Amino acid sequence: MFSALQLSLLILHVCLALHVCAKQFNVNCNSNYVSYYGQNSARNQKQLGEYCKDATEDVIVLAFMNGFPNILLNFANACETTFDGSSLLHCPNIAKDIKYCQSQGKIVVISMGGASGAYGFLDDSDASSFADTVWNMFFKGTATQRPFDDAVLDGIDLDIEGGSNNGYTAFISRLRSHYASDPSKKYYIASAPQCPFPDAYLGSTLNSAWFDMVYVQFYNNYCGLNAYPTWFNYDDWDNWAKTKSVNKNVKIFIGAPGSPSAASFGYVDGATLSNIYNDVRAKYTSLGGIMTWDVSQARTSGLASSIHGQFRALP
């Protein structure tokens, strides 16, 4: 039996945990909202910091590093300047905004890959070497050219939609060894597979490497949100999380288009998405929240406000 003091402390602990979930990113919560930034999908993309002036998003994913290991960055209208004598983007305004977003309790990660680009590794050695480069250019390492100057990102996201599947497990292993060298900060590994299971490009990596978050793209495929409940396959991803994932506490996110024009098909309105989320939340402990492509689309359509309102109203 609990004493009165123990019961009071337990209630306080639960209340504080709920408060943290409501106010800032917490990877253990099931009400985190992730959105991609950088591709100006709705053609009205604002400066990154503008999206961090309120509590709507918990995770901002910068899209994209669409070329590697020869680094190519593309953030559309958000950054168009380069280092002198180089094609590498230099983005001091994004750097400033990364720090501001982090000060507001959000995390900012960079997405590698995307639907188009020139990327992929020759082998494990190539991938491990590139992990060193990423650590030095975007995290706590040192490099002569850092696209975001002294801003330190919170992690990486793998949105691999082409090329070979070589080296990604080795890349993650080496990057996590760098993460471990800096105990002052929590760093994350995420991925954004398409919903057909297993994923065509990251299937083997998902089974052999550590992931903290998986943003499943439930759109542009037969298993998308528009196919709920018949073909919607969150159950496949929950089963993977609990039986095959290296990290048995990995969080799975419901990936959704931010508006009808954000995907070829798969968009559902806020009320429908809310019903799907509530159903998944009631059934699966692996749920981490919702992801949208992209922030400009979701903010313009009102879907972002709908998601934020639902999450903040959760008991």
Summarised one tens digit per residue, pLDDT across range 167-218 is 999 999 999 999 999 999 999 999 999 999 999 999 999 999 999 999 999 9
pLDDT band (50, 70, 90) for residue 22: low
pLDDT band (50, 70, 90) for residue 3: low
Catalytic-role residue among 50, 57, 80, 161 = 161
CA angle 155, 294, 154 (to 5 degrees): 10
* Catalytic annotation present for 161: yes
Cis preceding linkage at 212, omega within 30: no
Q: Which two tokens stand for residue 253?
A: 């996110």
For the chain, give the mean pLDDT.
94
Looking at the chain, the whole-number percentage of residues with pLDDT higher than 70 is 93
Tell me the C-alpha distance between 96 and 117, whole Å: 27
Predicted model pTM: 0.93
